[in-house]
Amino acid sequence: MKSDHLLKHGSITLIWFWLLAFALIPFGLVTIASFLSHSDSHLIQLPFTLSNYVQLNNIVYLKIFEESFYVAGGCTLLCLVLGYPFAYIIARLQTRFRSLLILLIIIPFWTSSLIRSYAMITLLKPEGLINSTLRWLHIISQPLPLLFNDTAVMIGLVYNLLPFMVLPLLTNIERLDGRLVDAARDLGANRFTTFRKVILPLTLPGILAGCILVFLPAMTIFYIPDLLGGSKTILLGNLIQNQFLVAQNWPLGSAISVIFTLLLIVLLVIYWANMRGRMQEELSA
Amino acid sequence: MSSLLHSLRRLPTISYVSAILIFFYLPIFVLITYSFNQAQYSLLWHGFSWHWYQNLWADRDLWVAAGHSLLLGVTAATIAMTIGGLAAITLHRYLFSGKQLLHALVFVLILSPDIVMGIALLILFSLINIPLGFWSLLLAHITFCIPFVVVTVYSRIVSFDPDIFEAATDLGATDMIIFTRIILPLLWPALFAGWLLSFTLSLDDVIISYFVSGPGFDILPLRIYSMVRAGVKPEINALCSVMFAVTVALVVLSQLLIRKKK
């Protein structure tokens, strides 16, 4: 019986200790750091100040926030438009290839996004597959500048994040009761009405989960703007990375990520309001 | 005739699914193909060659980085599997205060972007004077793997028949016996899947490692990142192909383990 006690309380203590020490406390430290002052010799020092946040209210930073928002929003929308029909078709598919197809979506979900970004470069670069093919077909004579611009960043982001939209959608749509769709059709609803009134509301949790999994990383995977945008596109992730590792202004970098974390919290609250505790099912795919 | 008509009706769906899959896999396929191309810069096929793989094989620094990544991945995955596995079992078996909060925290950690965890741990490590290197990377990797283990293991454990536990308790089994004689034997595929996924995550992580690694301890993903930034060399194609093949094998194995009894 003593070992039972140890098993239960030991496990609970262990997981709480770990998450407190390496997740909650560090996040708290970021928040504190964002209210401290910057110094060249100590990285962070007293006194407490609001100046980091005041400093962010500057046209340069506001522009980066705005651009990050547009790029991430555009990427999320594209992933949703491309991913929803894809997830829907696969979820409703009745073939023996189904588990193979699902595996083919899971693989890009888990494999290195850096390697997949690099693979995209080999496709887009001046002597890459697309340009070579177009030249070979005599459609173009000079290589198109496909790399190092905003479009390349967007392609890279969608390429990387589409699986993160598809997987939660797939899990959600799989659980959708097909009889409800049939019932709506039997009762005279056309395809569009059935989609709008039955399918869409029932798959909203999957949509929201997918959007969170795409929107936030789209702003912060700093190596995609770096590699595919040729460092011309600066998004939130690049800004934070720069403040921490180049400019060495930790308080300012912390302030940016606090604002970013607030955005995450807002999205989560919207999500929870729509879900009421069914969250884990979406993610346990 | 009707089956032909049926197939024709499904043509748009089939082409759409194929188009997306081609989008997913074409770049990787091109990358792997050209890792075997003899030519250095051209995309034209100049014949099959192992040359770039031989260059990798001869690269001492790369072996050192690979060794570090292996050590880090195995250690982080093992510890994350232990802590995450125990957490998942606890979440399922026991009632305790803060249970909902723990559940929520795990999912917030999965959703929160890497960069936030990267800088948070960087601040923590510099505050408590943990030098950036193996130990900082290990603590970081364990932390970002734990939530994925919890989710993987938990989704398996909820599929167990609850009567098993009740029957065992009725027959006088203590929790410890239930744990070692029932839970572990039934759960090992999910635990191993969690281990494999953690190892994959550790092997692939760039963003968090970028913040908490030190100059003395080079690891593969960061090495690849600096190689890619430095410029396109054909050896990178080979290295990325190897990494891709390894992670695909790990992911496929983990999926087989999870899906076995569904």
The pLDDT assigned to A174 comes to 85
pLDDT band at B262 (very low <50, low <70, confident <90, very high): very low
DSSP labels for A111-153?
Answer: S-HHHHHHHHHHHHSTTSHHHHHHHHTTS-SS----SSSHHHH
Window 195-234 of B, Cβ < 8 Å to A? 197, 200-201, 203-204, 206-207, 210-211, 221, 224-225, 228-229, 232
Which residue matches tokens 């879900």?
A: A275
Tell me how far apart the terminal alpha carbons of chain A are, to the nearest angstrom: 36
Which chain A residues are Cβ-neighbours of B142 within 8 angstroms? 18, 22
Q: What is the pLDDT of residues B100-109, one digit of tens each?
A: 889 889 988 9
| Residue B163, pLDDT above cutoff 70 | yes
Structure tokens at A28: 């708290």
Q: Are residues B212 and B136 in contact, defined by beta-carbon separation less than 8 angstroms?
A: yes
The pLDDT assigned to B41 comes to 63
Q: What is the pLDDT of residues A263-277, one digit of tens each?
A: 888 988 888 887 764
| Residue B1, pLDDT above cutoff 80 | no
CB contact under 8 A, A216 and B151: no
The pLDDT assigned to A17 comes to 94
pLDDT band at A134 (very low <50, low <70, confident <90, very high): confident
Nearest C-alpha of chain B: how many angstroms from A157? Answer: 12
Window 76-135 of B, Cβ < 8 Å to A? 83-84, 86-87, 89-90, 93-94, 96, 98, 102-105, 107-117, 119-124, 126-127
Q: What is the pLDDT of residues B125-147, one digit of tens each?
A: 999 989 999 999 999 999 999 99
pLDDT band at A225 (very low <50, low <70, confident <90, very high): very high
The pLDDT assigned to A55 comes to 84
Q: Are residues B72 and B141 in contact, defined by beta-carbon separation less than 8 angstroms?
A: yes
Say yes or no: B176 contacts chain A, CB-CB below 8 A: yes
Count of residues in chain A: 285
Q: What is the pLDDT of residues A135-161, one digit of tens each?
A: 888 888 888 788 888 889 999 999 999
Element of type H or E holding A170: helix A150-175
Which chain A residues are Cβ-neighbours of B155 within 8 angstroms? 280, 284
Q: Are residues A253 and A243 in contact, defined by beta-carbon separation less than 8 angstroms?
A: yes
d(CA A242, CA A235): 11
Backbone angles phi and psi of A38, in degrees to 5:
-95, 140
For chain A, the C-alpha Rg in angstroms (whole number) is 23
Which chain A residues are Cβ-neighbours of B176 within 8 angstroms? 3-4, 7
Q: What is the pLDDT of residues B181-207, one digit of tens each?
A: 888 888 999 999 999 999 999 999 999
| Residue A285, pLDDT above cutoff 50 | no
The pLDDT assigned to A42 comes to 65
| Residue B261, pLDDT above cutoff 70 | no
CB contact under 8 A, B127 and A227: no
Element of type H or E holding A160: helix A150-175
Q: What is the pLDDT of residues B112-130, one digit of tens each?
A: 889 999 999 999 999 998 9
CB contact under 8 A, B120 and A30: yes
d(CA B34, CA B232): 12
Q: What is the pLDDT of residues B88-102, one digit of tens each?
A: 999 988 888 888 889
CB contact under 8 A, B232 and A82: no
Query: How large is the average pLDDT for residues A116-138?
Result: 85
| Residue A132, pLDDT above cutoff 50 | yes
Nearest residue, CB atoms, A29 vs list B84, B120, B248: B120
Amino acid at A90: I
Q: What is the pLDDT of residues A63-83, one digit of tens each?
A: 999 999 999 999 999 999 999
Q: Are residues B53 and B238 in contact, defined by beta-carbon separation less than 8 angstroms?
A: yes
Instruction: Return the exposure string of B154-188: e unless at least 16 CB atoms fall within 10 Å of the residue's CB, then b.
Output: bbbbeeeeeeebeebeeeebebbbbbeebbeebbe
Structure tokens at A82: 């491309």
| Residue B40, pLDDT above cutoff 80 | no
Choose the mutation target among A4, A5, A7, A215 for the interface with B, i.e. most B CBs under 10 Å: A7
The pLDDT assigned to B44 comes to 66
pLDDT band at B241 (very low <50, low <70, confident <90, very high): very high
The pLDDT assigned to A133 comes to 83
Which chain A residues are Cβ-neighbours of B110 within 8 angstroms? 283
Under DSSP, is residue A43 helix (H, G, I), strand (E, B) or coil? strand
Element of type H or E holding A37: strand A37-39
Nearest residue, CB atoms, B119 vs list A216, A253, A280: A253
| Residue A279, pLDDT above cutoff 60 | no
Count of A-B CB contacts under 8 Å: 238
| Residue B236, pLDDT above cutoff 90 | no
Could you report the predicted ipTM of this complex, rounded to two decimals? 0.88
The per-residue pLDDT of chain A, averaged, comes to: 86
The pLDDT assigned to B260 comes to 56
Domains and CATH numbers, chain A: 56-283 (1.10.3720.10)
Between B73 and A141, name the one with better pLDDT.
Answer: B73
Between B46 and A167, name the one with better pLDDT.
Answer: A167
Region class of A148: left (phi > 0), else alpha (psi between -120 and 50), else beta: left
The pLDDT assigned to B7 comes to 67
Which chain A residues are Cβ-neighbours of B225 within 8 angstroms? 114, 223
Residues 6+ apart with CB under 8 A from A138: none
| Residue A5, pLDDT above cutoff 70 | yes
The per-residue pLDDT of chain B, averaged, comes to: 87
